Amino acid sequence: MDQGNIEQVYELSYLQEGLLFESLYTESKSNYFIQSVYQIKGNLDVQKFRLSFDYLMMKYDVLRTAITILPSSGRAWQVVLKNREIEVDF
């Protein structure tokens, strides 16, 4: 993780720690992973679509937040990134 791209760092809540533990130590890795596919009828302005996602990412910290575990301590943290790009395939 690029340290120059870090905006803020927070401790995990107890609930987040529990969810992280469960995701790391259970066989099913998809309990809290939700992926959606949508079919759009008509024309789509891809540039405007991507700009809309970029706007949302900049406006809402939660969309730029990652959970990372520091190798030195083994402790997990919430890291809010300054910039984060989302991959949208067409």
Domains of the chain: total? 1
Tokens 């730029």 — which residue? 64
Residue 88 lies in a domain: no
| Residue 90 located in a structural domain | no
pLDDT at 29: 66
For 70-85, the DSSP string reads -TTT--EEEEEES---
Structure tokens at 90: 């067409």
Query: pTM for the full model?
Result: 0.75
Full domain range(s) for residue 52: 3-26+47-81
65 assigned to some structural domain: yes
Each residue of 23-52: pLDDT tens digit? 888 877 666 677 778 888 999 898 998 899
* DSSP symbol at 32: T
Residue type, 63: L
